[in-house]
Amino acid sequence: MVEETFVAPNPREAFELAKEKYGYFSELTLLKAIQIKNDKGKLVSQITVSVSSNDFLDSIGYDEEEELVKEIHVLKEQISTMKQLVSPEDTAEVQPVLNAVKSVMLQRGLSEVWLDEILGEVAQSTVAEDEQLLLSYVLDEINERLRVKPEVLSGQKIMMLIGSTGVGKTTTVAKLAARYALLLENPLKVALVNLDTFRVGAYEQLEHYADQMQLTHIKVERVEAFAEVLRDLKGYDVILVDTAGVSPYDTGKLIKTIEFLKNTGDHKVEASLVLSATAKREDVVDIYEHFSFLDIESAILTKFDETKRIGELFGFLIEKQIPVSYISDGQYVPDDLTVASKERLMERLAGELL
């Protein structure tokens, strides 16, 4: 498969360009949609699609496929050789303490590249001679770089939850609603807005929670109606917006979700990326890139109780500098939701290490 980009004023028009070029719909896979500035400084949409190698070669009039594949193979070999030159193989023999700490942290899911960078900073110091001291140093570095977002409830708060299918957005919306409307010392006026027009039963699931808590719940099906609904809810302290779960392979759903997210009028909307603690790094990176053109203000971690390998997720959050706002560690509404703290996050990572 080959990746190709198309640029247009909005994601839908960009995807239409892709369909126009290749003449069909079913074989195109939308990989990413981002917002960029063109050479005139104007914001435009850029999508990346995946097409078969044969179709791509046909589109550029290239008939020597075997020669192209051979060139790619040579390039891969060159890259592999370069990696070997910059990756020392004798670390375990020269510095066994470094290797032991690295092994422990790799088991926790941390990135090898990131660990090599951190450990390399102290490789020649006395810290590297003591395993417990070195382990403490690595944890301290993680603690320094990991960010959390304090809970701020002054003024109107509009929070939109985005993320992949099955990550637990709807349940998290219900937990947040219960926290704001029922559990605070000074309860807030809360409304729920549902943009998930795809999943069967999505509205009914949130409606059930809204009925139990006696909260306003509105379903929005037209993109242009979203800003109007937000204006109608100006008297509410908190507006929680549930969106459709997005899969990279569901083009129509992704584009419509993007359109919703870009049509909020003049309202300040806080986009929170809901991430499962059980997800693999590549899956987390993939879903993040789909929403990277948005101003993602925080991450909400779900299924925190279902895994001990959260190093991959921590590495991603540190790399992208995304603060964690809430942690969900169960299915019960409203109990299994807490405001994120570094202590809680680091306690799960450290475990029995020290």
Q: Report whether 243 contacts 169 (CB < 8 A).
A: yes
3-class secondary structure, 261: helix
Output the pLDDT for position 92.
45
The pTM score is: 0.71
Output the pLDDT for position 19.
82
Q: Tell me: the pLDDT tens digits for 72-116?
A: 555 455 444 433 433 444 444 346 888 888 888 888 778 888 888
User: How crowded is residue 2: how many other Cβ atoms within 10 Å of its Cβ?
Assistant: 14
Residues of the chain with pLDDT under 70: 1, 24-27, 53-95, 197-202, 247-254, 293, 332, 334, 351-354
Sheet strands (E) in the chain: 2-8, 29-37, 43-51, 157-163, 190-194, 216-219, 238-242, 270-276, 296-302, 324-328, 337-339
Output the pLDDT for position 36.
80
Tokens 């999505």 sit on residue: 202
Q: Tell me: the pLDDT tens digits for 7-64?
A: 888 888 888 888 888 775 556 777 777 778 777 778 888 888 877 766 666 665 555 5
Q: Report whether 251 contacts 203 (CB < 8 A).
A: no
